[in-house]
Structure 1
Amino acid sequence: MSDRPVGHLYGRDVYAFGDGGYAFEAKGDLRPLRKEDCKAVSLFANYSPTEDTDGFIQLPSGVRYRIVQRGDGQAPTLNQTVRIDNLVWQGDGEGFNDRSRPRYREVDERIDDSMPEWRREALLSMKVGEVRRLIVPATVEDGRRRHELRLWAIVNER
């Protein structure tokens, strides 16, 4: 948990808490926010994602990522369609190299409000050519915790 507030929710201080979630103080205790309430948190302008000792950076959604290969292309914007590879590890394993068999798919996907927030957040912060490994906490997405995204191209402009 963070020792300083990272934002506000309905006038209360909010702290980074657990595996990508937020908590608020009530009657001297920290209480975790429900997943649906996390979207309403107003983060402070000076709050930035933090890098863990394992090299992963945490985004405001709670998703942690590490860049495997830097991209040198353009960054997509909202409402563009992108071509990505998505490798997903199923199961309860902790690492990207465990025995669970990854599932792969290549897809063209429009970045818009119908896309899960964590995925939109990740893609909008990538550049064409980038490969990124993501750890998605269970509070954000059930069942699929580890992804590797490769942003191949921006297929169309709005």
Structure 2
Amino acid sequence: MLARRVVAALLLWLSCCVSALWRYYINSQDYSIFSTRSSIKLEYEGNSFVSWKIPESCKVENNTSPKTTLHCKRAGIHTIEPIARNQEVERHLTVDNSYICYLWYFTVVDVYYNLSQIVTIWVYDPESASTEELIRTAKKPSLRRLLQLKPDCHHMGV
């Protein structure tokens, strides 16, 4: 009986006094440079969220949503902070002026009847990639990727 009361008191204390979790990330698992091109996802988990405090050089899609997307048009160190009913810690996010916008990977298919291999090289933009491209299971380019390639292929005679 006493153990239940202790656990209940501990849970009550934790629910009112412990900070919630918040994080930021981008679409690609292998690409960790936040750039002026990046769509940076912001997520806050907890009940005390009010809004996001961001610098003027950045914009969020929905300032009062615990899950939103951040875009920073200037490179530099930006202070991001969730405004919540309990105390939260601000974080300093470094945004680079990176011109690296494409990632790549390759797949290999063994062709046993003639002992050869088919090697496919996938080049994609993590900002506009399909889920299959991001997890490296795509069987064909996404429609978005084909639309991006069309102007380039047109100049190559395709």
Task: Tell me: higher relative CO, structure 1 or 2? Use CA pairs within 8 A at least 6 residues apart.
Answer: 1
Superposed pair shares fold, TM > 0.5: no
> Higher strand share goes to which structure?
1
Normalising by structure 1, report the TM-score: 0.25
TM-score, normalised relative to structure 2: 0.25
Q: Which has the larger radius of gyration?
A: 2
